[in-house]
């Protein structure tokens, strides 16, 4: 990593969308059209084709949850470094650490990371992460970091593992824009630490947080 670690600002600018197929799909299209600004966050009230790991859909009621995607251009972190696909493991770990820290601040210490990139409260899924990367040849150029958290929703039509929302855990209604700001802060902190500490140390730091 670069000795002079750059200051990143994930979450700015914030682009708010009422309804979209998927924030990740939208963000990727912005990258491909060369319209994306590194650090931008695309947040939607509703997704018609929300994407989860392994092609699964992410089902969510309109306006009830935190659904967003951040775009990050790797050369903005260190223009002289040739970022490779191997570096993606460190970023993935950093994002999981930041997402867990965000949710744990409100839901408490029973929050954990479940591999590959889910956030759990006890034995129930509270959130998920989907990172999709763009390569130019063998150089890693852009990362799209999709994150979804169940916030105020109380009924779920999902097969398999039972979801849980922050409202169900705390009994409180939450303001989504405020939580968006706090998630951005947590991610900026964890990614900044990754840039300082490197891949191996970041991955090791995540291991005790696994469930």
Question: How many whole angstroms separate alpha carbon 105 and alpha carbon 92?
Answer: 20
Would 7 be classed as within a structural domain?
no
Would 9 be classed as within a structural domain?
no
Would 3 be classed as within a structural domain?
no
- Residues of the chain with pLDDT > 90: what percent? 72
Would 5 be classed as within a structural domain?
no
pLDDT tens digits along 7-33? 778 999 999 998 888 899 999 999 999
Would 8 be classed as within a structural domain?
no
At residue 153, what are phi and psi to the nearest 5 degrees?
-70, 140
- pTM equals 0.92
What pLDDT was estimated at residue 129? 95
Q: Print the domain residue range for 118.
A: 14-209
Would 122 be classed as within a structural domain?
yes
- In the chain, how many domains are there? 1
The mean pLDDT of the chain is 89
User: Tell me, what DSSP letter sits at residue 62?
Assistant: T
Asked if 85 and 133 count as a contact pair (C-beta separation under 8 A), the reply is yes
Would 199 be classed as within a structural domain?
yes
What pLDDT was estimated at residue 3? 47
What pLDDT was estimated at residue 21? 85
Q: Which residue from 193, 204, 205, 203 is spatially nearest to 5, judged by alpha carbons?
A: 193
Report the phi/psi class of residue 24: left, alpha or beta, with left for phi > 0 and alpha for psi in -120 to 50. alpha
Residue 134's CATH number? 3.30.930.10
For the segment 157-169, the average pLDDT, to the nearest whole number, is 84
pLDDT tens digits along 179-207? 999 999 999 999 999 999 999 999 999 88
Would 6 be classed as within a structural domain?
no
Q: Please classify residue 19 by burial: count the beta carbons closer than 10 Å to its beta carbon, then call 0-12 exposed, 13-18 middle and 19+ buried.
A: exposed
CB count in 10 Å sphere of residue 183: 26
For the segment 85-91, the average pLDDT, to the nearest whole number, is 93
């Amino acid at each position: 990593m670069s000795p002079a670690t750059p200051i990143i600002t994930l979450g700015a600018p914030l682009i708010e969308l009422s309804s979209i197929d998927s924030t990740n799909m939208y963000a990727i299209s912005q990258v491909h059209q060369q319209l994306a600004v590194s650090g931008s966050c695309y947040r939607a009230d509703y997704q018609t084709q929300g994407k989860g790991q392994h092609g699964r859909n992410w089902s969510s009621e309109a306006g009830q949850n935190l659904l967003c995607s951040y775009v990050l251009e790797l050369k903005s972190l260190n223009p002289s470094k040739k970022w490779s696909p191997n570096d993606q493991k460190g970023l993935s770990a950093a994002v999981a650490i930041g997402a867990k820290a965000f949710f744990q601040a409100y839901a408490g210490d029973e929050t954990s990371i479940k591999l590959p990139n889910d956030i759990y409260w006890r034995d129930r899924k509270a959130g998920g992460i989907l990172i999709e990367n763009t390569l130019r040849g063998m150089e890693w150029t852009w990362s799209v970091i999709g994150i979804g958290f169940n916030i105020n929703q109380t009924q779920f039509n999902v097969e398999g593992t039972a979801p849980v929302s922050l409202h169900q855990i705390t009994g409180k209604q939450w303001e989504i824009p405020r939580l968006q700001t706090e998630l951005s802060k947590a991610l900026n902190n964890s990614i900044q630490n990754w840039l300082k500490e490197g891949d191996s140390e970041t991955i090791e730091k995540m291991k005790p947080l696994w469930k």
